[in-house]
């Protein structure tokens, strides 16, 4: 790839047909025509380095000062292990729930018409737009013993607020839009011909969904799951209110890091943060690979944007 | 031949509900719509409704008193100030980064794209912590910030002009950056870093460079091309990114909580003030009154977002 010399970006518009008379497109120029490359690249790298990379590297450099034993003591003690179990477990469960409900919601919003569809479509963005602290106190008010939903669940012996279940509910709330918003464009772009062909060949609706639709939307579904999982793993604001923050029981890892900072145990907090960052980067990598896979499956055209 | 055509007709009769395989039966459809709406109402609408119900549960007077309280006012003003600094910084960066990443191809472009997204993958608590590691007492710059022999930055706000920092000599306490406004600004800039860039990059990639080339060919210089050609093309996407960035900047809790110090009336932003009221005895309804303000902000953001989508299609997607 002659990356350095390519100037004209691939346009998503279909190539113009050559005019009669054998006109050929101008050869790709060997230097950048559009001015401002050096300036914008320079500022982008400078600002990125100053705001993001330098502070993030501080976490890794600070941790590198710890001895191996200190690091292990900080990241692998009963409190930390309990917090990982809750954080990863609840985030995984929340992302799974979001995948199921997100598929249902996206499907209904794209495929069916019903009164209030646009309103509900808009509401899906609420967890993105609503500050996490507001979500936290609202969910706690809803699910505590006197809350509208908590009151109904209490006689059944189900406690949500101040239990791991509450953590799950908060994480499901805040990461719901990822699956819906990842799936919607894919469902909208599905070609009806695929389903028609399957139907004409005698497939039942269930077979069409399982054998034709599901494989096409699977990459988007997995991407949505991974994005939900990553978001849930780092979440703090909404969980801190509903979890009760009890060490060994309802404390998630970000809450543990916060507590360590509060007790001026900065090196320990940083060591746990590095573990979390590593986990996040692995998920980010997985998302990138998933998207590449999705692009290769759906062809360049539809996924190019 | 006859056999074939008879199997074909059988086939088509077998799937004669032919429609059936193309769409769900009406009752399945109703069931799915019902389930999805029940879920959305229970999970999204109820939490929003409970904020307003709790806010007014003690009457309109308690609600109004909570909002005109001086500490609430200080929190609102600080939140607006933080957003007024962080959003323009990230908007300028977003436009610059999008120009560089969307308009050119160069080695390392996809790595740069990933790095721009990086703050989204970082937990808010860690976003605050990394600034403590630099500016905190044990941090990289801690020796300088807390050594009385050197001048340390001191936040005075915008009351005295456009530059809000002074440098003080002599003994200074620990609230130079961390536990002060500059720390809150930095943490907010970090968590809202990708919003504008991420909105603009796909949009500008989809639009391509043709119009810019045309402008250059007709004799425009780089600035003219940007202001007269590129900016009008991306203005709605830009606006979209800015309102999302603003919503997050005003609502950020975790990162700001780590670096704020929670000083009532001084370093409490509105989300932190909500936490304080929520945990203090007797101000439960007040917490929800403040929360209702941020909920209104969220609702306005969603209305604007949908307005833009309705007018111009989902940024980038429908242009492609």
Cβ under 8 Å to A: B residues 25-84: 29, 32-33, 35-37, 39-40, 42-48, 50-51, 54
- How far is B86 from A168, CA to CA, in rounded Å? 32
Nearest chain A CA: its distance from B1 CA (Å): 18
pLDDT given for residue B314 in this prediction = 56
Please report, to the nearest 10 degrees, the dihedral formed by the alpha carbons of residues A168, A249, A136, B286 taken in order: 150
CB-nearest partner of B130 from A37, A58, A280: A58
CB-nearest partner of B190 from A35, A51, A131: A51
Nearest chain A CA: its distance from B4 CA (Å): 14
Query: Given CA atoms B125, B128, B129, B130 in this order, what sign does their dihedral have?
Result: positive
Give chain A's residues under pLDDT 70: 1-31, 298-305
Q: B152 — phi, psi (to 5°)?
A: -120, 145
Partner A contacted by B317 (CB < 8 A) = yes
Task: From B20, B17, B21, select the one nearest A199 (Cα to Cα).
Answer: B21
In tens, the pLDDT along B235-281 reads 999 999 999 999 999 999 999 999 987 888 888 999 999 999 999 99
Containing A87, the helix (H) or strand (E) segment is helix A78-111
Non-local (6+) Cβ contacts of B80 within 8 A are B250
For residue B317, the number of C-alpha atoms closer than 13 Å in the C-beta half-sphere is 14
In tens, the pLDDT along B29-53 reads 999 999 999 999 999 999 999 999 9
B144, two tokens: 């300088």
Residues of B in contact with A44 (CB under 8 A): 93, 96-97, 100-101, 112, 116
Q: List, as own/partner pairs, every contact residues B61-66 make where C-beta atoms lie below 8 angstroms and the sequence separation is at least 24, other chains included.
A: B62/B285, B62/B286, B62/B289, B63/B285, B63/B289, B63/B292, B65/B286, B66/B277, B66/B283, B66/B285, B66/B286, B66/B289, B66/B290
Residues of A in contact with B272 (CB under 8 A): 133
Mean per-residue pLDDT of chain B: 86
Give chain B's residues under pLDDT 50: 1-18, 174, 315-320
- In terms of CA atoms, which chain A residue is nearest residue B262? A262
B298, two tokens: 């969220």
State the complex-level ipTM: 0.87
pLDDT given for residue B176 in this prediction = 72
- How far is B142 from B280, CA to CA, in rounded Å? 33
- How far is B224 from B306, CA to CA, in rounded Å? 31
Q: What is the model's pTM?
A: 0.87
Across the interface, whether the CB atoms of B130 and A59 are under 8 A apart is answered yes
Nearest chain A CA: its distance from B51 CA (Å): 6
For residue B211, the number of C-alpha atoms closer than 13 Å in the C-beta half-sphere is 16
Helices (H), chain B: 2-14, 26-40, 46-55, 60-68, 70-103, 109-117, 124-135, 142-146, 181-191, 195-207, 210-217, 222-225, 231-251, 254-260, 270-279, 284-312
CB A238 within 8 A of CB A131: no
């Amino acid at each position: 790839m002659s990356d350095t010399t390519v100037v004209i970006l691939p346009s998503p518009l279909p190539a113009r047909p050559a005019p009669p008379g054998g006109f050929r497109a101008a050869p790709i120029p060997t230097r950048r025509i559009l001015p401002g490359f050096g300036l914008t690249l320079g500022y982008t790298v400078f600002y990125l380095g100053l705001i993001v990379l330098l502070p993030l590297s501080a976490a890794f450099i600070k941790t590198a000062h710890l001895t191996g034993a200190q690091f292990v003591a900080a990241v692998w003690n009963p409190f930390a292990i309990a917090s990982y179990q809750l954080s990863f477990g609840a985030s995984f469960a929340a992302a799974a729930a979001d995948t199921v409900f997100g598929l249902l919601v996206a499907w209904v919003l794209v495929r069916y018409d019903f009164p209030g569809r646009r309103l509900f479509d808009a509401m899906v963005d609420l967890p993105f737009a609503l500050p996490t602290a507001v979500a936290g106190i609202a969910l706690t008010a809803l699910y505590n013993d006197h809350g509208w939903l908590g009151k109904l669940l209490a006689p059944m012996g189900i406690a949500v607020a101040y239990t791991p279940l509450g953590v799950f509910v908060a994480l499901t709330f805040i990461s719901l839009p990822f699956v819906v918003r990842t799936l919607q464009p894919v469902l909208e772009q599905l070609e009806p011909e695929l389903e028609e062909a399957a139907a004409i060949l005698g497939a039942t609706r269930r077979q069409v969904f399982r054998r034709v639709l599901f494989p096409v939307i699977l990459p988007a579904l997995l991407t949505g799951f991974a994005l939900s999982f990553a978001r849930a793993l780092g979440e703090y604001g909404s969980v801190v209110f509903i979890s009760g923050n009890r060490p060994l029981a309802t404390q998630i890892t970000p809450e543990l890091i916060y507590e360590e900072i509060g007790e001026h145990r900065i090196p320990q907090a940083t060591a746990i943060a590095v573990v979390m960052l590593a986990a996040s980067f692995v998920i980010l990598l997985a998302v990138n690979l998933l998207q590449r896979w999705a692009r290769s499956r759906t062809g360049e055209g539809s996924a190019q944007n | 031949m006859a056999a074939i055509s008879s199997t074909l007709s059988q086939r088509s009769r077998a799937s004669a509900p032919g429609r059936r395989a193309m769409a769900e039966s009406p009752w399945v459809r109703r069931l799915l719509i019902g389930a999805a709406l029940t879920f959305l109402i229970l999970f999204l609408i109820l939490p929003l409704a409970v904020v307003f119900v709790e806010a007014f549960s003690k009457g309109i007077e308690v609600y109004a008193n909570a909002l005109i309280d001086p500490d609430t006012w200080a929190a609102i003003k600080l939140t607006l100030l933080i957003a007024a600094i962080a959003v323009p910084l990230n908007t300028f960066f977003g436009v610059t980064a999008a120009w560089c990443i969307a308009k050119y191809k160069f080695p390392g472009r996809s790595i740069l794209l990933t790095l721009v997204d990086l703050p989204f993958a970082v937990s808010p608590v860690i976003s605050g912590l990394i600034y403590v590691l630099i500016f905190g007492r044990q941090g990289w710059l801690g020796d300088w910030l807390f050594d009385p022999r050197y001048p340390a930055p001191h936040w005075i706000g915008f009351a005295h002009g456009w530059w809000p920092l002074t440098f003080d000599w002599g003994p200074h306490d620990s609230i130079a950056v961390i536990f002060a406004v500059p720390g809150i600004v930095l943490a907010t800039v970090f968590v809202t870093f990708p919003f504008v860039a991420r909105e603009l990059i796909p949009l500008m990639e989809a639009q391509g460079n043709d119009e810019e080339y045309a402008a250059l060919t007709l004799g425009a210089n780089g600035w003219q091309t940007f202001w007269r050609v590129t900016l009008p093309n991306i203005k709605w996407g830009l606006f979209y990114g800015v309102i999302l960035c603003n919503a997050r900047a005003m609502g950020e809790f975790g990162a700001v909580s780590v670096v704020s110090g929670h000083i009532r009336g001084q370093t409490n932003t509105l989300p932190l003030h909500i936490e304080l009221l929520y945990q203090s005895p007797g101000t439960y309804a007040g917490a929800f009154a403040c929360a209702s303000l941020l909920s209104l902000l969220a609702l306005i953001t969603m209305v604007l977002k949908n307005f833009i989508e309705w007018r111009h299609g989902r940024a980038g997607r429908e242009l492609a």
